[in-house]
A and B are shown apart, each in its own frame.
Chain A
């Protein structure tokens, strides 16, 4: 039985073939909680500044946390490393790998060095073996899963693996599990590929013990009340509970939040939108729900099958909200079956859907404007609307395999635009070199600010939701009682820059906490984004560590500051926390929302940095803030490297 107070880490050096199990300092559980928090600390401590992301010095961390394996953990797993684009690469995902890793007696893996041939790691009850994976190299995700299941002859073994895209160092490729479940889209899969690590398999037979069973049970029951379909006060819960997130495509379209034709427009034809939304998906294609470990809202992920037509027999799963948004309106494609196949191919080849969708959209706009021609695209008529379906699907394969025109797109639209030039940089929708997600910015300033400042590149899960909740759900005095000082009437106005920095700061801290326990960020429903008492109680009863509520909040703030410190140490500054050129220079057609011009955006950035205690000039955390958080070593590290840490 595991004690949740002390966490451990299995260090695997692929250069030497040696493994070593170490304890993590006990004090770290109170300071950084676990999972993402521990990864932020390890990343800052162990990956040297300027390290080649694909070199042996970059470390790939995969880990859980003290609440994983309990029902509150929801199977969450964090993967982290230095991104191929130089930022923090951290992402969380669900499934069953996390609880299995803990049952095997391990909390974290640190993958160091580089193997001389393709290998996979087999972990079973604290024993580990590095095995030959030459027979798996080049295999797609579904093939790798099937081959490993057969090889290990145990249906309960859990896996994380990469596809051909990760092997071929396609920069944004994530790590996959359970066939179509991915995490770490800032390139964790590519870093895993650079180490020639094809897969990790884990099986455990141990258990997890919570320190105070009765207290934990009571806290868990309270939590379930807050997120249950019948009892939650959150507007999204009934929708999530029945349909899953793809239904938001229709809501976003109403609000000027659907990036259409590479965000040249922000409103899509209503009939097209209806055709790709969750309602027809559920009616025609879904075969069953597939929940993560202990999830109370199992509609989030589903399995589907196309039963007739040219794609008959195609099976896949996990059509999360952003997929129909980016493979639909962004490409002006209203063929839901094509969307399912495009997403399925990304999953099979180990590609990031945002990378593929935004890069295709950029290339389609280039084609529309005559910047690219058939001579550049291997003969493909790369037009919005995807008239050549087979051609587009083959291009996705080529991106993963880095063949022909696919090799250009494999670099992502930022790098591709730099290579092609001729003004195409202006419609490459990227922040810190990484492609956007589905959520639009000019109709919600919280989103605009949130994706711009994220230390991992655009990633809404670092702070979502984009508003404080239902207009009737919270009052200013409720927030004051929780120690949150802000004016909700201003914060709730989507296109009012006031209070956005403060709300974003709070949500970023609360997400850092939830992801560090870990628990699922999609269950931050009701007012749980502001009121972290239920999570606090769950942490205390699970670990036996008594921590003041204010100290618990401070742990989230510490994690957030460590991520920023890593980012600035790699050379990123305020000038990198900016919206894409198109959003900063073009008003939103039809809705009339103004562009995110410099004075407007600077005002929100100033507020955010000010609220965080970061330099307004550089975005480097200030000395007093780092010292207040007990991160004096970070101050020393930054100063040792000649960086100006303001008092």
Chain B
């Protein structure tokens, strides 16, 4: 189980109803996390992943910030998640 800080911006916060949360998960990759969040917030995954090709949408962005490091745009759905990382969805 890892703990993540999840931040939701603008139209994403319309789906989640909150601006940020501390989230505990067993998901080990971004792909698995998006699937979990889609269960929690219906339609979440479709905002970020193309339903046809399964790749990241070009008109959405996820910033991934490992603990103690600077954030960078996520470009690989299979990238692993670290305990205490911050993800910003927009």
Interchain nearest-CB distance for A592 vs B (Å): 8
CB within 8 Å for A472 and B58 given contacts A254-B71, A255-B71: yes
A232 adjacent to B59 (CB under 8 Å): yes
Interchain nearest-CB distance for A399 vs B (Å): 33
CB within 8 Å for A247 and B61 given contacts A239-B90, A256-B70: no
Interchain nearest-CB distance for B57 vs A (Å): 8
Residue from B9, B63, B86 within 8 A of A239 (CB atoms): B9
Q: How large is the interface on B (under 10, 10 to 19, 20 to 34, 35 or more residues)?
A: 20 to 34
Interchain nearest-CB distance for B19 vs A (Å): 5
Which residues on B sit within 8 Å (CB–CB) of A471?
73, 75
Taken residue by residue from 67 to 89, chain B's Cβ proximity to chain A (1 for < 8 Å, 0 otherwise) reads as: 00011010100000000001010
Residue from A235, A277, A592 within 8 A of B60 (CB atoms): A235
Which residues on A sit within 8 Å (CB–CB) of B19?
274, 277, 279
Which residues on B sit within 8 Å (CB–CB) of A250?
7, 9, 88
Q: How many residues of A contact B (CB 8 A)?
A: 27
B90 adjacent to A251 (CB under 8 Å): yes
* Bound Cα distance from A238 to B90, whole angstroms: 9
B7 adjacent to A242 (CB under 8 Å): no
A238 adjacent to B75 (CB under 8 Å): no
Asked if A475 is at the interface (CB within 8 A of a chain B CB), the reply is no
Asked if B56 is at the interface (CB within 8 A of a chain A CB), the reply is yes
B59 adjacent to A234 (CB under 8 Å): yes
Residue of B nearest to A275 (CB): B19
B88 adjacent to A251 (CB under 8 Å): yes
Among A277, A470, A591, which residue has the most Cβ atoms of chain B within 10 A?
Answer: A470
* Bound Cα distance from A71 to B37, whole angstroms: 40
B59 adjacent to A237 (CB under 8 Å): yes
Asked if A473 is at the interface (CB within 8 A of a chain B CB), the reply is yes
Asked if A32 is at the interface (CB within 8 A of a chain B CB), the reply is no
B59 adjacent to A242 (CB under 8 Å): no
Taken residue by residue from 274 to 318, chain A's Cβ proximity to chain B (1 for < 8 Å, 0 otherwise) reads as: 100111000000000000000000000000000000000000000
* Bound Cα distance from A131 to B36, whole angstroms: 67
Asked if A243 is at the interface (CB within 8 A of a chain B CB), the reply is yes
B61 adjacent to A470 (CB under 8 Å): yes
Asked if A233 is at the interface (CB within 8 A of a chain B CB), the reply is yes
A235 adjacent to B10 (CB under 8 Å): no
CB within 8 Å for A472 and B75 given contacts A238-B11, A256-B70, A278-B10: yes
* Bound Cα distance from A103 to B9, whole angstroms: 41
Interchain nearest-CB distance for A280 vs B (Å): 9
CB within 8 Å for A238 and B10 given contacts A254-B88, A274-B20, A471-B73: yes
Asked if B14 is at the interface (CB within 8 A of a chain A CB), the reply is yes
Residue of A nearest to B86 (CB): A254
CB within 8 Å for A279 and B70 given contacts A235-B60, A254-B88: no
Interchain nearest-CB distance for B9 vs A (Å): 6
Which residues on B sit within 8 Å (CB–CB) of A270?
20
Tell me the residues in window 435-473 of chain A with beta carbons closer than 8 Å to chain B beta carbons.
470-473
B10 adjacent to A243 (CB under 8 Å): yes
A-binding residues in B (CB < 8 A) = 7, 9-11, 13-14, 19-20, 55-56, 58-61, 63, 65, 70-71, 73, 75, 86, 88, 90
8 chain-A/chain-B pairs, Cβ below 8 angstroms: A235-B61, A235-B90, A242-B10, A251-B9, A251-B63, A254-B86, A274-B20, A472-B56
Give the 7 A-B residue pairs with the shortest CB-CB distance, closest first.
Answer: A243-B10, A233-B58, A247-B10, A239-B10, A242-B11, A235-B61, A470-B58
